[in-house]
Structure 1
C-alpha cells in the first residue's frame, strides 16, 4: 500500500471514528437534553451540540480552501451572515406558502363552532379555499409552530455532515426549507363588539379574526377547537370564539420530521438511530433559534419568577383552569400555580427522569388511566392542555383536595397532598430536613403557595379605570388617519385626557418616553412598555409618564395618563399585549382582550 493509499485509508477511518464518536455522544446526551435546555437556558446545549456537530466534520488538506459551514456561529462572519440572511428569507417564504382559509365568509355565533376538522377527517392536504399568505391566528398558535431558521440550518448541517459535503449551498437550504415547511389551515370568524352610550344607543362593529383549525408541522399535526364566549367590559360587550382544546392527531408527533429525515439522510430502519438523528437536529435547531430570538433578553434582564400576576398566565389556559375549577372544585388560581411550578405553562414539558409530562406533570402510568376515565384519548390528547389540566385536577381531588377548606388554612391542608403529588418520598442524605413534608414545604409547596397568592391577589385590571369603551378593536381596520387598511395590533380605549393609566401586571418598565422626541406627532407619541414573565404590555399616546425605564411596577399602579400624543385623532389609550413565547425580541402581538377577559 503506497503513501497516498495509506493517507486515504486513514482519512476514511478518521471519518468513521468521527461518526461513531458523534453517535455515541448523542446517545449519552439525548436523555439529558431537555434538562440542559430548561436549567441552563440553552447555553451548554449550544456549546455541546453545536460544537459536537462541527467537530465531526472532515477537515482534510483538500478542504482548507473551501468555505466554512457557518463556522463562526458565535461570531459575525460575512459567510455566516449571508447564510443566515438566506435562512430568514426562506422562513418568510415557506412559513406562509401553505396558509389556507377553509371558509370564504366569516361565521358568527349562530353557526356554532363549524369548519373544524377531526382526526379521521383532517384538512391536510386538502381543504383549500383561499390562500391567506400570512400567519394570522389571533391566539398566535401558528407562530409557535412556524419553521425557524435554526431548524433549517441544523437539518442542513446534519445532511452536509452525513454526505461529507464541503459547504451548505443555497439549493440545499431551499430544498430543506421546502421539505420541512408547515401547513396551516384557518377559519374566518367574527368578533362582534357592541358599545352602548349614555343615552342607551348601541353601535356594533364586526371585525374578522383568523383562527387556526389545523397545523401539520415538524412539531406535530394539531387540530384546534373553539367555543363562543361573550365578555362584558363596562358598556362594551365582545362576542368571539375562544380556544377550547388542542388535539395532536398522530401517534408520534415527530412523524413529519422523522419521515423527512429518513428519506433525506438515507437512514436505516433502526428506530433508535432515527430518534438520535431527530434529537440532534431538533435540539441543535432550538439552540440556534434561542440564541437569536430571546437569549439577549434573558442575559440582560434575567426575569426568573420575579414578576408574577394573573396577567402573565397564557390567556388560552385561563378558561381551561376555570372550567376545571367548576368541575373539580379546586380554585383555578391554585391549579395555575401548580402548572407554573411543574411546567412553566409548557404543555410539552417532560421530566427526563420520571417521564412525567405536560402542564401538570402526570406520570406515564397515570395518564392513560385517568385521561380515559375523563373521556380523553390518551394518544391524541397527550398535548391537549385542557386534558392535562383536567387529569391533574382529578388526581388532586382523589388525593384529598376535595376536603380542603379554601376559605381556611388551605396551605397546611394542601401540604401532605402536595408532598405526595410532588414525589417527596424519602429525604436525601444531603438535604437538611427532618421529614418529607418539611422538605416539600421548603422546596415545592411554599413556591406553589406564593404563585397561588399572587395569581389570586388581584383579578383582571383594566388599564384605564372607569373608562372601558373600546373605540377600535384588535384586527384589520381602515386607519383613521392614513385611510389605508392596516392591522391594528392592540385596542383603543376611549378616555378623557389626563385620565389615569395603570399597569395591568407586575413587571419591569423596559421603555418610558417619546417614540420620536423630535416629532411629537409621530407614531405612539409618549409610550410605556412593561414586561413580566410571559408578556410585554404597551401603553401609547400618553399625555404624561410617571415611571422611568428600569422601574418595577405593581399591578394596578398608576404609570401614566391618557393623552393624544403621536399619530392620534383624539384622547385615548392604545394598548397592546405581546406574547414573548412567539419569538422575536419582543414576541408577537395577541388580542389584549385575551388577557383582560373577565
Structure 2
C-alpha cells in the first residue's frame, strides 16, 4: 500500500467517526497533522531513503554485503571453517589449496568460488564432478563439459568466474545467479533456480563469509538481512490484518525462506522458541539476543531457529531462517530493538543499525 492509499484508508476510518461524533472533524485534523504526516516526515528525515511514492521499494541507507552474503569479519579466509567444510565435501576433500591458488590467479574470491562449486555439485558428490571433473556446471556445445582432471576443471571454473566477475562486473551472488541459474529459464520448469542465490549464500556463510567485493556495516549493529529492503517501518501504520490504525513496534525486512537471518550484534541468546504467552505468540518462531548496555535485538517469524538459549553468538552469526510463522502475511523478518529488559521498551531499530541510537 503506497502512502496515498494509506492516508486514504486512514481518512476512511476517521470519516466513520465523524458520522457518530460532532468532534470527529477535529479528530481528523489532529490525527493527520500530528500523527500521520510527522511519521512520514520522520521516515524521510532519518536517512532511511524512504520512498513516499513506492514504499515497497524502500532501501535503507546502510551498506551491506554483496549479493546477500556477509563478509568474513576480518576480511580474511576462515581457515578452520574452510578446512572443515571441504573435508566432508566428496571429491573436494584435500582440494582447498587448489581453489585458493586458482582464485588468487584469477583475482576472485575463493569463498565465493568454492561455495558455487559446493552448491553445483551437491557438495562434491554429483556425477558431473565425480565422472566429468566439472565442478562448476560448465556447459559446452555437447552439454556438460568433461575435464581430464579435477584440477583442470577447477581451473576452467576459475577462468569462467573471472570473466563473469572481473570482465562483466557480476560481483554479487545475485548477479552471478542471473547467469548460472536464471529464474524463469525454459529448462527449469519446477523453478529450482529460485533457490540458487539463497543456497549459495548459505554455503558462503558456512565457509565464514566473503573475503572480496563486500563491506561490513558501518554502525554498531549490522544488518540482520543483507542488502536490506524495508517493507514496513517502525511507527504508526495500517494493520495488515484489521485495517485499523496501529503502532508497529519494529521494522519489517524483506527476505524469503530459507534465507539466513544474522545476529545484528554479538551477545547472548536469551529467548529462542515459539511463544505460547498471549501477546507474544504473534511473533511465531522468535529469537532474542541480549547485548551490552541492556539492549536486546529480536528476530521474529523465523521458519527455523538455529540457536539455543544461553548460547553466545558473534555479530553476523546465523540465528535462524526467514519465514512467516506467527501473525504474518508472508515471508519477512520482523526486527525489534528493546531497551532496559527482555520484551521491554521497543524503540526504532533503524538509528541503531545506522550507528546513531536514539536517546
TM-score after normalising by structure 1: 0.25
Structure with the larger RCO, 1 or 2 (CA within 8 Å, 6+ apart): 2
TM-score after normalising by structure 2: 0.40
